[in-house]
Structure 1
Amino acid sequence: LSSRNICQAWNYVNGLPLDNLKTAIENGKKNYAGSELPGKTLGIVGLGAIGVQIANAAHALGMKVIGFDPSITIKSAWKLSADVEQALSIDELFSQSDFVSFHVPLVEGTKNLLNEERIALLPEGATILNFARDGIVDEDALITALEAGKVKYYVTDFPIDDKKNHERVIALPHLGASTAEAEDNCAIMVANQIKDYLENGNILNSVNFPETKMPRAGKERLAITHKNIPNMVGQISTAVADADANIVDMLNKSRDDVAYTLIDLESEISDTVIDNLKQIEGILTVRGL
């Protein structure tokens, strides 16, 4: 939309009188000449599920792609094209990118992630794409950059009143999941993930728990929620061993203050195992599956 001036050309055609329409379109198209994507650099901030797909798609279009995500997961890294370059800092990414696309949540550390100082690092005439969250961009600094031509276009589905009619802002509705198929797919996904959690203890796409998924290997499984503090895994293993239970497989993940452990046992879960675990300080919940 931004590199080829599609929206501006669309508005031009819609505003033309019907008389001599074809001639007017041909005469006016030179005013909307754009630029091609191959050879341009796309910087992606946040390489989660969506960021990785954008990176791979842009690379397939012939763009140079650089990414920054200090918390990239192993799962995302496996899916990312080997040709996507790593930026060692977010400032390095901004200084090299003709286009910058954001794919991060809005938390304290990402608020006003694009600010006056980082806008100054951008190449002249860069384009900003924000389909992540509203507060990631310092809007006052952005307006100043748009007016000065430092930023050529701002493409977003989080428009605010004072930017929606700006000639350099391409504002769209928040249409990411607005399809008939998405409604069904989301419902099926939620049902499957809840079922997997209830039956196997696996956690996917949680906003406050670590992503935890382990194939079943033993006869029964323990799903343990506990505080993310030192020596919890050691105490949990000891509590299981003290109940004469043998661990077949084990997975421990943490996120902020919360940790989650899955343990597959060789035998059935005894009351002694449950009692031993519940006596450990820092244990929040214990489920036998």
Structure 2
Amino acid sequence: MHKILTLNQISVKGLERLPRDHYEIASEFTHPEAILLRSHKLQPEDIPESVLGIARAGAGVNNIPVAACTERGIPVFNTPGANANAVKELIIAALCLGSRGILQGVQYVDTLKDMTDKAEMNTLLEKEKKNYKGNELAGKTLGVVGLGAIGSMVADAALELGMTVKGYDPALSVESAWRLSSNVERVENLNSLFSKCDYITLHLPVLDATRGLINRELLASCKKDLRLLNFARAEIVDTAAVISALNDGDLGQYIADFPEPGLIGVPNTILTPHIGASTDEAEDNCAVMAADQIKDFIENGNIKNSVNFPTIAMERADCPRLAIANRNIPKMLGNILSLLADEDINVVDMINKSRDDIAYNLIDVAQVPCDEVLKKILDVEGVITVRVLN
């Protein structure tokens, strides 16, 4: 029986992917094989020695100690794209809120609760509605920074709204490029993008290269009255720089999903309480993807959507399988295969992939190696974990 530890409430639709006749799921376990979580802040010392893999039902993994997991040979999975539609729809709403006086109009109407004369109210509204006049999105230019799963969907939706779309993504993958509409104009640098767009939306992960990327110098190059949307990560934007740019008139508006004390009450800001992926559908999609990935890893050793291990998959043959993680250094695979050969254990099929400092091997063998052979493999300098999938 495989034991799965859940550290947040995980959608039932996701948990149903783990059959109860093979999986035991609980919020407390002494020796879990895997961890499923959402936003729980996981510390290295909180990860039991028995854990083989960790899956987050969401895209970001800044609440998981990825480096410590890699050191221990634990792949960390996320669910890119599972919540993309939820975020895309919120971005469209944010564009509308930033271009029309919707919120201000609603707030004004709420002040009229003591009026009882309908005709008088209609007359007043006809007089006051000019204060909430806005602009249409059609014909305006949207800049999309980061053209992955969410960014490409936002770009497509903006095109459907009649907007001109410009994109910036120096790390654009081949897969993302195929997904992207040919009507999206690629821009080579951020300063150029910020100087040409009426709206900018951010869709980047938090990395050393992206932390504080939106700074005061960049905001000084903004097109007049630019609306900046941040529904990606708070750390991408230098909050002090945004406040300064708003106060100096270099930035027209800041719309974000990341409130913080310094931003509350600042004019020309619209802040939502971390609701980018807060839909029933997104939570279901993320949980299903996370559960499927953990299940395939536990049962077959396959890895998909890991942030620290290579993507690797091999169809199961009717034979035992070894799943081995090791440092990405020379002669590792040769040393492992030599130990199997010494014991006359025939290799039926195998695949080896690496990512940065880690390598991972799936080796189908004609027979299960004895404990002594498995220990010899684990004792090879550089080998981190050895599993038998029988």
Residues 146 and 189 of structure 1, relative CA distance in 2, 3 Å threshold: same
Q: Residue type of the partner of 1:216?
A: E
Aligned residue for 1:26? 126
Taking the aligned partners of 1:232 and 1:98, their CA distance within structure 2 comes to 54
Between stretches 237-246 and 27-36, larger displacement belongs to 237-246
Q: How big is each residue's C-alpha offset from its partner over 1:194-235, in whole Å with a ceiling of 9 and x where there is no partner? A: 1111112233444x4236253516445443322234565676
The structural deviation recorded for 1:253 is 4.3
Alignment of 1:211-250 (within 5 A): 212-214=311-313, 216=315, 218-220=317-319, 221-229=321-329, 244-247=346-349, 250=351
1:210 aligns with 2:306: no
Where do 4+ consecutive residues of structure 1 move more than 6 Å? 233-242
Aligned residue for 1:151? 251
Give SS of 1:83's match. Answer: coil
1:107 aligns with 2:207: yes
Q: How many residues align?
A: 284
How much is the aligned-residue C-alpha RMSD, in angstroms?
3.1
Between stretches 11-20 and 141-150, larger displacement belongs to 11-20
Q: Residue type of the partner of 2:158?
A: A
Residues 29 and 268 of structure 1, relative CA distance in 2, 3 Å threshold: farther
1:169 aligns with 2:265: no
The structural deviation recorded for 1:168 is 0.2
Alignment of 1:1-289 (within 5 A): 1-16=97-112, 18=115, 19=117, 20-206=120-306, 208-210=307-309, 212-214=311-313, 216=315, 218-220=317-319, 221-229=321-329, 244-247=346-349, 250=351, 252-254=353-355, 256-262=356-362, 265=364, 268=366, 270-271=368-369, 278=378, 280-289=380-389
Q: 2:204, 2:233 within 8 Å by CA — same for their partners in 1?
A: yes
Q: Residue type of the partner of 1:250?
A: I
Q: 1:42, 1:99 within 8 Å by CA — same for their partners in 2?
A: yes
Give SS of 1:43's match. Answer: strand
Give SS of 2:387's match. Answer: strand
Taking the aligned partners of 1:23 and 1:114, their CA distance within structure 2 comes to 45
Q: How big is each residue's C-alpha offset from its partner over 1:89-147, in whole Å with a ceiling of 9 and x where there is no partner? A: 33333333221211222232222110011112221111111112222211121112112
Query: TM-score scaled to structure 2, two decimals?
Result: 0.63
Q: Where do 5+ consecutive residues of structure 1 fail to align?
A: none
Q: Residue type of the partner of 2:277?
A: A
Taking the aligned partners of 1:30 and 1:183, their CA distance within structure 2 comes to 40
Query: TM-score scaled to structure 1, two decimals?
Result: 0.82
Taking the aligned partners of 1:89 and 1:55, their CA distance within structure 2 comes to 18
Identity of aligned residues (%): 45
The structural deviation recorded for 1:50 is 1.9
Give SS of 1:110's match. Answer: coil
Residues 117 and 285 of structure 1, relative CA distance in 2, 3 Å threshold: same
Higher RCO, 1 or 2 (CA under 8 Å, sep at least 6)? 2
Residues 228 and 178 of structure 1, relative CA distance in 2, 3 Å threshold: same
Q: 1:240, 1:246 within 8 Å by CA — same for their partners in 2?
A: no
Q: How big is each residue's C-alpha offset from its partner over 1:30-84, in whole Å with a ceiling of 9 and x where there is no partner? A: 2222222233222222233222222222222222223333333443333222322
